[in-house]
Structure 1
Amino acid sequence: MKGLAPGAILRLTALAMGMVALMPVQMLVMRVAPSRGAAIPRLFHRLTCRCLGVRRHVRGTPPPAGSSGLIVANHVSWLDIAVLGAERPVCFVAKSEVAGWPVIGFLAKLQRTVFIDRSRRAATADVAAQMGERLTAGEAVVLFAEGTTGDGTRILPMRSSLLGAAHEALGKGDAESVADIAVYPLTISYTGFHGMAGGRVERATLAWYGDTELAPHLKTVLRAGAIDVELAWGEPIAMGRATSRKEATRRAEATIRKARQETVSGRPVA
């Protein structure tokens, strides 16, 4: 990319070489042992964070290792995928358009991303069935419940439809047979740039939303130097017989908003 410093070009080259080396390995794993398909993506996401200078900081108590459940998070940037994927084995739910994006779409398929076609009325049911299979298999599924990326500062209203559909899919239509699902609220906040605390302008610069193109945004990330991101985990919510999907979504959204306010203000919010 033109206009990048030699160090940034070196980091981008290292990332590209790592991707080329890991892709055929992941393709082989997906063919012969798909149940072990989470290890290589996690390694790639860690490489991505390292090459792009992203430093992860965890607040709160993450879900136990290997636990199943729905991770409900806000969405700021394509970087969120690498940040969360580097922390733990997860699968993501993404809009169907992502599947057709050059390179990114192929990588998403290799990570067994669940794609939802929002133009089809039956899409939610189809996606819910896939999510139900993943949850039954003990996997953690990430939902960016805002439905789109935000500007890095605001939390957009969260949608409850996929949470409820995934829960119903586990019981195959028999509400009495459906067990509770653990919903883990997660707040993603980009907090530091060039080793210094960032404000609203810096957060908006790293956010990937609207009509922002990927290549210029990648250049912005490479020029940013060190990037600090905080992953703030909230208390898990048992969605099911006692807590409806709308109430679970409301509580998750409130937890995420509170954690974002705490991060921005630097002090706990009562």
Structure 2
Amino acid sequence: MSTWLPTAPCTPRSCVETPAAVRARAVPRAVLRLAAVLLLLLAGIALTPLGPRIPQSMVRRWCRCIVRAAGVRVRFTGAAAPTGGLLLVANHISWLDVPLLAAVRPARMLAKAEVRRWPVVGALAARGGTLFIDRDRLRALPDTVARIAGALRTGAAVAAFPEGSTWCGRAQGTFRRAVFQAALDAGVPVQPVRIGYRAGGATATTVPAYVGEDTLVASVWRVVTARGLVATVEVRDAIRPGSSPDRRSLARSAQPRQTAAPAWAHTALVA
């Protein structure tokens, strides 16, 4: 098994909740949500040639708007991410995780090569400077780590999901160590982020999960037809360079642990 290609036991049938039957009157709302998400993505593609001239505050706001347009409210906890070179890491549940992580700090995403072929999203990812990984080629691993470290040395932020696969949210994978070697080589901090999804108050839900043989279309439709979804984004304290002697201990320190319920105190709500 490749370092980049771990597998998760989660499947749509065994893990993913399905929203209650969608009433006919709710379909127009879901279609409007889809249209709003698509328009925001197209606007992002149109603006990507401006590159670094776009203020990061605007990028963060745009990412939050994408999630909100899909009908999901967002709660952020924790401090702001530091400036300069930074490896941003999070657990991986849904396609929503990408804009949520970018809302913490805009970054060059680390993604599997297949994402480049996705409609709309693939074009946006490529123009946004995404670092694509050929996960089937183990020999490409050193070169990929070197490219990540090179990006970090320039002062850029790189965002990754070190579990290497999506999980349903009720279970989670182990952070793979390879990407953390890039942070060690570049001498930059690591910012752990914990992402979760709730429905009906503090009740955890797997509706937004995108796992196993699930399709992106099916996952998106579950989200836009659901009601009362809330994404929780907990930004943990950054791990300073030199505080971990090797990538194994650094990955262990960065691994966000599951909690029974989120801490709602001192939380910012994006309506």
Aligned residue in 2 for 1:163 = 180
User: What residue in structure 1 maps to residue 45 of structure 2?
Assistant: 23
Q: Distance in 2 between matches of 1:149 and 1:236?
A: 23
1: CA distance, partners of 2:181 / 2:231: 30
Distance 1:95 1:240 in 2: 29
Instruction: Show the counterpart of 2:71.
Output: 53
Three-state SS of the structure 1 residue aligned to 2:142 is helix
Cα deviation for residue 241 of structure 1 reads: 7.4
Give the counterpart of 1:118 among 114, 131, 135.
135
1:187 equivalent in alignment to 2:205: no
Secondary structure of the structure 1 residue equivalent to 2:232: strand
Q: SS at 1:20's partner residue?
A: helix
Could you tell me which residue of structure 2 aligns to residue 93 of structure 1?
A: 110
Letter in 1 for 2:134: D
Q: How does 1:124-203 map to 2 (within 5 A)?
A: 124-168=141-185, 170=186, 180-191=187-198, 193=199, 195-199=200-204, 203=205
Question: Per-residue deviation at 1:89?
Answer: 1.4
CA contact (8 A) 2:41 2:124 kept: no
Structure 1: tracts of 5 or more residues without a match: 171-179
* Offset at residue 105 of structure 1 (A): 1.4
Q: 1:128 to 1:38 in 2, by over 3 A?
A: farther
Matches of 1:110 and 1:36, distance apart in 2: 14
CA distance 1:16–1:234, change in 2 (3 Å): closer
Q: Which amino acid aligns with 1:229?
A: A
What TM-score comes out, normalization by structure 2 length? 0.79
Render the CA deviation track for 1:5-64: whole Å, top value 9, x for unaligned. Answer: 2122122222323333342232x32xxxx4336757545423311211222212222323
Whole-angstrom CA distance in 2 between matches of 1:38 and 1:121: 37
Quick one: structure 1 residues 13 and 184, their matched pair in 2 at CA, closer, same or farther if it must change by over 3 Å? same
Larger fraction in helix: 1
- Correspondence 1:234 to 2:236: yes
CA contact (8 A) 2:202 2:261 kept: no
The equivalent residue for 2:96 is 79
The one-character-per-residue Cα deviations of 1:52-96 (angstroms, maximum 9, x if unpaired) are 1222212222323x3421112110110101112233212211111
In the alignment, residue 63 of structure 2 is paired with which amino acid?
A: H
Quote how far apart the aligned CAs of 1:166 are: 4.5
d(CA) in 1 for partners of 2:139, 2:253:
27
Higher relative contact order (CA 8 A, sep 6+): 2
Q: Is the 8 A contact 1:69 1:141 kept in 2?
A: yes
Report if the CA contact (8 A) 2:89-2:192 is conserved: yes
Measured in 2, the distance between the counterparts of 1:222 and 1:7 equals 8
The number of residues matched between the two structures is 241
Q: Note the residue ranges of structure 2 that are not aligned, 5 or more in a row.
A: 1-22, 266-271
Secondary structure of 2:119's counterpart equals: coil
C-alpha distance in 2, partners of 1:240/1:82? 29
Cα pair 2:90 2:161 within 8 Å, conserved: yes
Contact 2:175-2:251 at 8 Å conserved across structures: yes
Deviations 1:132-182 (A, max 9, x none): 2221221221121111111111121111112114533x3xxxxxxxxx321
Alpha-carbon shift at residue 240 of structure 1 (Å): 3.6
Distance in 2, Cα, partners of 1:118 & 1:51:
32
Contact 1:70 1:143 in 2 (8 A): yes
Cα 1:37/1:91, change in 2 over 3 Å: farther
Percent of residue pairs bearing the same amino acid type: 32
Counterpart AA for 2:259: Q
Which has the larger displacement, 215-224 or 113-122? 113-122
